[in-house]
Amino acid sequence: MIIYKIYKEMNAADTWRDPDDICIVELGYKQSLEDALTLVQEYIDKSFYQKGAEIHKSTNGSYYAIDVCSYGWTVKVNPIEVE
């Protein structure tokens, strides 16, 4: 069985010269890909600066959307195999 982990991450370092400061916040888990992508779209509509951000599919089966702005979050959906 596959479930989907939805989370957001951002590098909060002030400049590219500073050490990385990766922040990760879990947004939830869904049993269907459709529900997971709906949650991501709702998050984009509510919280992204760039409301027109698109959800992209990676070659490894995960999905992501990037809010291109200062300290913008990347929202990700990763499939997880569970028994």
pLDDT at position 12, please? 86
Rounded to whole angstroms, the Cα distance separating 46 from 14 reads 25
Residues, the chain, total? Answer: 83
CA distance 62 to 66: 14
User: Residues 56-72: pLDDT tens digits?
Assistant: 999 999 999 999 988 88
Average pLDDT over residues 22-49: 96
Q: What is the CATH number that goes with domain 2-81?
A: 3.10.50
Q: Quick one: average pLDDT of 39-67? A: 94
Does the pLDDT of residue 38 top 90, yes or no? Answer: yes
The C-alpha atoms of residue 67 and residue 65 are separated, in whole angstroms, by 7
* C-beta of residue 56 within 8 angstroms of C-beta of residue 63: yes
Domain residue limits, the chain: 2-81
Instruction: Name the band, by pLDDT with cuts 50, 70 and 90, for residue 14.
Output: confident
- Token pair recorded at residue 47: 């919280």
